[in-house]
Structure 1
Amino acid sequence: MSTTPPVLAAELAHAWADIQRHHPELPDLAAPESLIGESSSACGVGLSFERLLHEAVHGIAAARGIRDTSRAGRYHNRRFLAVAEELGLDHSEEPHPSSGFSLVALTPEAKRRYRPTIERLGRALKAHSAATAGDAGRSFRGPAARHGSSGGGVRVKAVCDCGRNVRVVPSVLAQAPIVCGGCGKPFRIPEAAGSSDTAKTAAAA
């Protein structure tokens, strides 16, 4: 059973839909809990609209078949940066030695474009933080959980029958199926992406 807070999940979906309005090729956000339950030093240590837009960059890159990261998802390359700039994110400094161009920030134009959505999501996140204060079971996990520095959180590629793919933490996929917005079938982790046991567990979820 999903433990995603319904109000926050709805606000994440609303914000994602606003990004899709400007970038129609962006795939649907199938699993808000994957953002709520996992934090990442490579993609932003806290959940925010900026982090959501960062994840949208990965979504569009995946839809285009672009390999935008390496080193188990930690290093964000120039292909990532090119898509990020299309979505209103900027990286004004040289790439970080280990995470590349991951620490992108909203441009002034993007802040103006998404201002109502940014404010709306901010209120939902503030309410969620207040409601879950002291609740370790529902609070954000530590930085870089998704990229392996806190153990077992590396994202791998999951595919669906129509050929689309997303990067996902196996433990998140094991909690509940992630359904493709294109064909309606669940994403699954191929045997080659990890151990046989991991793939079978994710596919059976």
Structure 2
Amino acid sequence: MSTTPFVLAAELAAAWADIQRHHPELPNLASPESLIGESSSACGTELSFERLLHEAVHGIAAARGVRDTSRAGRYHNRRFLAIAAELGLEHSEQPHPSSGFSLVVMTPATKRRYRSTMERLRKALGTHSKVTTADTAKSFRGPAARHGSSGGGVRVKAVCGCGRNVRVVPSVLAQAPIMCGACGQAFRIPEAVPVG
């Protein structure tokens, strides 16, 4: 069995501890493995240090007894945004109609503060991604994943014309369009944008 998930869990815990050094009221991270298993959040951001800071905002809000979201946790309100600013995150645009201020990003000062922590986590995430996406004949993927059922396989973000998103197994989306009830357009998997 590969030690990669354990290394990633350790790096997530270390990164969380680094955030706690700057924000002592942040509760302990209960389960780094839950962040690994659920590689995206309701707002569709991939697992990264920025995502960890986003989750830390929720942690501090919970510790303070602040209700920072509504609509079953999808809409991030101005209370979320205020705590996000304390952690070095900003949101320069108007709130999204369905997710509010969820798409916060790190300020340049925050990137400088956590540079070495971010680099260690980035390397661990890269290694984890390579190991878990390798699909060889020796990989066991379970019957649901092999047959394209929604009960297995890796879910990805699909978006519609109005910006709403759902998590779906690509083979399920390939079987027939999934239509948005708000705008009437089909959800689609966005093209990957090359970095560089």
* TM more than 0.5: yes
RMSD: 2.6
**Residue of structure 2 aligned with 1:142, choices 156, 159, 163:** 156
Q: C-alpha separation between the residues in 2 aligned to 1:54 and 1:131?
A: 26
Q: Which letter does structure 1 place at the counterpart of 2:105? A: A
Unaligned segments of structure 2, at least 5 residues: 136-140, 143-151, 159-164, 169-196
2:97 matched to which residue of 1? 97
Q: C-alpha separation between the residues in 2 aligned to 1:92 and 1:74?
A: 19
Deviations 1:6-55 (A, max 9, x none): 00000000000000000000000011121111144544431000000000
2:128 matched to which residue of 1? 128
Q: C-alpha separation between the residues in 2 aligned to 1:139 and 1:11?
A: 25
Residue 4 to residue 125, structure 1, CA distance change in 2 (3 Å): closer
TM-score by length of 2: 0.68
Q: Please list, as runs of the form range in 1=range in 2, the aligned pairs for 1:1-205 lying within 5 A after superposition.
A: 5-40=5-40, 42-134=42-134, 141-143=155-157, 149-150=166-167
- Judge which range, 135-144 or 56-65, deviates more: 135-144
Q: C-alpha separation between the residues in 1 aligned to 2:133 and 2:116?
A: 26
Deviations 1:92-114 (A, max 9, x none): 00000000000000000000000
- Judge which range, 44-53 or 95-104, deviates more: 44-53
Q: Which letter does structure 1 place at the counterpart of 2:126? A: K
Distance apart, 1:143 and its partner CA: 3.7
| 8 Å contact kept, 1:76–1:99 | yes
Say which SS state the counterpart of residue 33 (structure 1) adopts. Answer: helix
Q: Which one has more relative contact order, counting CA pairs under 8 Å at least 6 apart?
A: 1
Identity of aligned residues (%): 76
Distance apart, 1:142 and its partner CA: 3.1
Residue 84 to residue 116, structure 1, CA distance change in 2 (3 Å): same
Give aligned pairs, total: 146
Q: C-alpha separation between the residues in 1 aligned to 2:113 and 2:80?
A: 21
| 8 Å contact kept, 2:155–2:167 | no
Deviations 1:94-142 (A, max 9, x none): 0000000000000000000000000110000000011111456898643
Residue 59 to residue 109, structure 1, CA distance change in 2 (3 Å): same
Residue 112 to residue 139, structure 1, CA distance change in 2 (3 Å): farther
Q: C-alpha separation between the residues in 2 aligned to 1:140 and 1:11?
A: 23
